[in-house]
Amino acid sequence: MKLTTRGHYSVKALLDLSLQPGYGPTSVKAIATRQDLPAPYLEKLLIELRRSGLVQSVRGAHGGYQLSRAPAQISLGQILEAVGETIEPLPRHTPDAELAEDWVTFTLWHRLHQKLKEALYSITLADLYYDARSWQAAQGEETSFVV
């Protein structure tokens, strides 16, 4: 699996939204500034994330994007899938039936793929939130540990 810029930026943006007090709407510009991301590209990603139901947009002067559900209900796998990332092994390979080592390596990669997929769908934004807050506390920053 290769994590592209799309996946990386999407995870950063949603983690940013999870760190906002009350999960209220946040402008694309504010997220882009805090995360050092290009705003036009971020806007496109957030539109895809909205279409997937992970975020919702709020219009108006104090509008922007916010999470559509609690961080504990949004997994990394869902985020990556929403922006078109694939965690499927590439290239697709059909093992040679006459070579035992081909089947062994095929089975190994298949098992590793399954474990990776399980991990991505079990790690949530809430997990990342606590990791971020713990890191901030270790750096001496004031923080709240409430999700």
Taking only the tens place, the pLDDT of each residue in 37-85 is 999 999 999 999 999 999 999 998 888 999 999 999 999 999 999 999 8
> Looking at residue 113, what is its pLDDT?
85
Q: How far apart are CA 51 and CA 85, in angstroms?
A: 15
* Per-residue confidence (pLDDT) for residue 107, from 0 to 100: 80
Where does residue 100 rank: exposed (0-12), middle (13-18), buried (19+ CB within 10 A)? exposed
Q: Which two tokens stand for residue 100?
A: 């035992």
Alpha helices in the chain (DSSP H): 5-18, 28-35, 39-51, 76-82, 100-122, 125-138
Can you tell me the mean pLDDT for 11-15? 94
pLDDT score for 124:
96
Residue 58 corresponds to which tokens in the numbers above?
């709020």
Give the tens place of pLDDT for each residue, 88-142.
Answer: 765 666 666 676 667 777 788 788 888 999 999 999 999 998 887 788 778 776 5
